[in-house]
Amino acid sequence: MHDICISNTRQALLHSGSHEWWRSALSSLSARRLHRTRNAVLCIRSGDKLCFILDLMNGGDLHYHLSQHGVFTEQEMLFYASEVILGLEHMHNRYVVYRDLKPANILLDENGHVRVSDLGLACDYSKKKPHASVGTHGYMAPEVLAKGVAYDSSADWFSLG
């Protein structure tokens, strides 16, 4: 099963500021099959619509589950954290820094396994380390908050906690 996400490219380009954002998002989604990440199966452009067909993740996200049920048990937390760690290690081994790790971006499938989603801020650091201050405040590493400072995968480990 797959989700279909339809986006108005004109509006998205206005909000994101440039074609580069879309190139980065598409590159992150489709150029690599990343373990424990939500992957694009297909991307279709029709006029000003951009359609992504994505892996179906119908178990909600960790933010939803935390807001509905409160804190996780130690066993649940260890399970979710270990699966997120596997996904981050897989990305980092391919020189991809995620840069937006937060409970709302960790989706669950129907079996309760996690996938990291929303790779729009992810970037390749194989040739040059990023220095942009991007992500969600409250989850951003100090080196990401310090504008102009280069960083690597360490930013994701800070966000994990």
Query: Among all residues, which ones are annotated catalytic?
Result: 100
- Return d(Cα 99, Cα 28) in angstroms, integer: 12
Q: Give the count of beta carbons closer than 10 Å to the beta carbon of residue 93.
A: 11
Across the chain, which distance is largest between two alpha carbons, in Å?
A: 48
Q: Encode 14-53 in three state secondary structure.
A: HHHCCHHHHHHHHHHHHHCCCCCECCEEEEEEECCEEEEE
Structure tokens belonging to residue 11: 């509006």
Round to whole Å and give the CA distance between 145 and 43.
33
